[in-house]
Amino acid sequence: MRLVVARCSVQYEGRLDAQLPEAVRLVMVKADGCVAIHSDGGAYKPLNWMNAPNTIREEETQWIVSNPKGETLTITFHEVISDSAHEFGDDPGLQKDGVEAHLQELLAAVPEAIAPGLTLVRREWPTSIGPVDLMCRDENGHYVAVEIKRRGEIDGVEQLARYLEVLAPDTTLTNLRGVFVAQLIKPQAKTMAEARGIVCVEVNYDDLRGRRPEELRLF
Amino acid sequence: MKFRCERDILADAFGAASRAATGRATNPTLSCLRLVLAGDSLRVTGTDGDLTIEAVVPVADGKDGVVLLPAKLASEVVRSLPSGAVTIEVGDDKVQISASRVNFSVPTGAEGDFPKWSGSVGGGVSVPAATLSDALKQVVRAASTDDARGVLTGVLITGVDKKLRLVATDSYRLAIRDIDAAVLPDGAKFVVPARALGELQRLLGNAETVSINITENDATFEMGATRLVTRLLSGTFADYQRLIPPSPPNSLTISRDSVLESIRRVKLVARDPIGTPLRIRIAPDGVVLRMVSQDSGEAHEQLDGEMSGNEIEMSFNNELLAAGIEACGAELVTIQTSEPGKLAVIRPKDDPSYTYLLMPLRS
């Protein structure tokens, strides 16, 4: 991972032309060749980025990043404040906490707990920006993308909205809609979900555990 | 305080005692080992307040004294040293641990609040260590691991027909093992924390006999120079005897290894750690194990077995079933059933000393 903090300006040419005027930013070059340019704000989204595979040509005051699709990102450095590289090694991946992972397993086993007639198509449905927790079909055969959180907050709704946006061009997913599931969903998240046509469902973890088939007990 | 001891002996003593120490208590001394040197005998003690493990080892060139050492660090340091003699010397607030050309300086702990040893010394009843170790292996795993389940996180130790009986249950399965040893009078009942018995099982590895002494509040197990004492759990244990069906009508006798291999194979389609149901159909033409996973497909396998009674199909948690069959330890196991939805009784063939009761899944 190479991290460059610099006063820079950026020019993107590709599907559209866009530019970032001169300012101090963090330029990240990841081991797989991804390049991301961050400002000092926002949790996850870079101002501009290019996914791997990329070719990076370093010149004296400029980096020219290009990819096979013909997109080009030109970063012009006016002042380099810091330039460091770090070896990260293999990443173990995202470890969801016990309750959230367990919720996903329980709901995959009993999708009807989310909505009557819902059947599981697949857990961890792959998309280019990460897997959707559950892909299900409703009683009409329409696809339902389900995002599961322990606590339902705005970022979870945004995450599901991004998945729906990425999956929207896939015509095989007929009438795709989203359902946001959590033990407790905050009012702001409900409002945002409603505005984006996403249905919110609150589930009770203990009740779900009670629906586990092995709950037959000796006493 | 100062002494010299062989690394392997000291490392084993530190390792055993430090398994009882805890870094999560409000009393910081519980994260330490207490070393007491008197003459050529060093006593190493670790405790979390409920479980205490003490090992006594011979040392040389000793200068008597008492010191507390951080348990985890001291154990790791001693184990990392080159083989041969290790010298430990206590300074004002540091302990020097050295061997060959390696030297560590480790801070000492405050001695004041370290709990006193509460176990019994001597007076116990001896049992072959291997027998108790086998019994613990068969029973302890059936105890609940959920702290909220109270007394079910323990193992009932009771006297029945002049034998020692161990019973554990998490309410989905129940394991019973009888040992030919009159440790307790018939009817006497105590519940020992499963965690303590798990640690005891580790300590039994190299011992020939273990002496058991259970009093009103604690149980002490002595294996040569190593002792373990644990507080008992209070509360009423489940009335397990009424659960054992007198004579279930259906019986299957099957090779233990074959059925375990089969479970391992068919569960390849089950990636769900909750336990994808394992369906078993027992019929005159054979036994069929079947597993269906929505994500990964389906597997079924036919096995030979000797059956009597009626044809029956039931579903089980594959992990709990495999654990019970594996624990039987015999070449042939008997699985007795009555009807779907009712418990199964699993035993080694012709050996009544071990019984495993398992509830099926709703199907």
CA B156, CA B143: separation in Å to the nearest integer? Answer: 10
- The whole-number pLDDT of residue A94 equals 57
At residue A97, the pLDDT reads 46
pLDDT at residue number A91:
73
Higher per-residue pLDDT: A43 or B208 = B208
Mean pLDDT score, A144-164: 93
User: Å from B229 to nearest chain A CA?
Assistant: 31
Q: Is the pLDDT of residue A98 over 80?
A: no
Give me the residue from B174, B294, B317 closest to A218, CB to CB.
B174
**pLDDT of A213 higher than 70:** no
CA quadruple A106, A109, A115, A119: dihedral, nearest 10: 150
Average pLDDT, chain A: 87
Neighbours of B352 (CB within 10 A): 9
d(Cα A143, Cα B189) in Å, to the nearest integer?
A: 58
Q: Which CATH number is B2-107's, of 3.40.47.10, 3.10.150.10, 3.40.50.720, 3.20.20.10?
A: 3.10.150.10
CA-based nearest distance A114→chain B, Å: 17
Distance CA B107, CA B89 (A): 12
- At B312-324, the pLDDT tens digits run 999 998 889 999 9
User: Cβ atoms within 10 A of the Cβ of A44, count?
Assistant: 8
**Mean pLDDT value of segment A139-145:** 93
Residue A94 tokens read as: 């995202």
Q: How far apart are the first and last CA of chain A?
A: 56
Q: Where in chain B is the domain with CATH 3.10.150.10?
A: 2-107, 125-242, 244-358
CATH among 3.10.150.10, 3.10.20.740, 3.50.50.60, 2.30.30.40 for B244-358 = 3.10.150.10
Q: Please give the residue that has the higher pLDDT: either A45 or A168.
A: A168
Residue B273: per-residue pLDDT: 45
Q: What is the per-residue pLDDT across B27-55, written as a single tens digit (0 to 9) for each?
A: 888 999 999 999 999 999 999 989 999 99
Reply yes or no on whether the pLDDT at B202 is more than 60: yes
Q: How far is A85 from chain B (nearest CA, A)?
A: 33
pLDDT at A211: 44
Instruction: Tell me the C-alpha distance between B291 and B276, whole Å.
Output: 7
What is the reported pLDDT for A92?
63
Alpha helix segments (H runs only) across chain A = 98-109, 154-167, 187-195, 205-210
For residue B18, give the nearest of B202, B165, B158, B183 by alpha carbon: B202
pLDDT at B120 over 80: no
Residues above pLDDT 70, as percent of chain B: 96
Arithmetic mean of pLDDT over chain B: 91
pLDDT for position B113:
78
pLDDT bracket for residue B144 (50, 70, 90): confident
Instruction: Give the mean model confidence (pLDDT) for residues B57-68.
Output: 94
CB within 8 Å: A215 and B317: no
Interface of A with B in 95-154 (CB under 8 A): 102, 105-106, 108-109, 120, 122-123
ipTM over 0.95: no
Measured at the CA of B172, the angle between CA B169 and CA B176, to 5 degrees, comes to 35
What count of CB pairs under 8 Å joins A to B?
A: 50
Average pLDDT over residues B328-352: 94
Percentage, residues of chain A above pLDDT 70: 92
Residue B233 banded pLDDT, cuts 50, 70, 90? very high
Q: Of residues A6 and A102, which shows the higher confidence score? A: A6
- For domain B125-242, give the fold: DNA Polymerase III; Chain A, domain 2 (3.10.150)
**pLDDT class for A93, splitting at 50, 70, 90?**
low
To which residue do tokens 């369906």 refer?
Answer: B279
Q: What tens digit of pLDDT does each residue of B266-323 get? A: 988 876 545 678 999 999 888 999 998 777 789 999 999 999 999 999 999 888 999 9
pLDDT of residue A210: 53
Question: What's the whole-number mean pLDDT along residues B178-189?
Answer: 93
Q: Is the pLDDT of residue B111 over 80?
A: no
Mean pLDDT of A58-74: 90
Nearest CA in chain B to A125: B295
Q: Which of A89-93, A150-154, B39-43, B207-211 has the lowest mean pLDDT?
A: A89-93
Q: Is B296 exposed, middle or buried (0-12, 13-18, 19+ CB in 10 A)?
A: middle
CB contact at 8 A, B13 and B44 = yes
Query: Per mean pLDDT, which range of A5-19, A71-85, B1-15, B124-138 is the poorest?
Result: A5-19
User: Which among A109, A122, A217 has the least Cβ separation from residue B359?
Assistant: A217
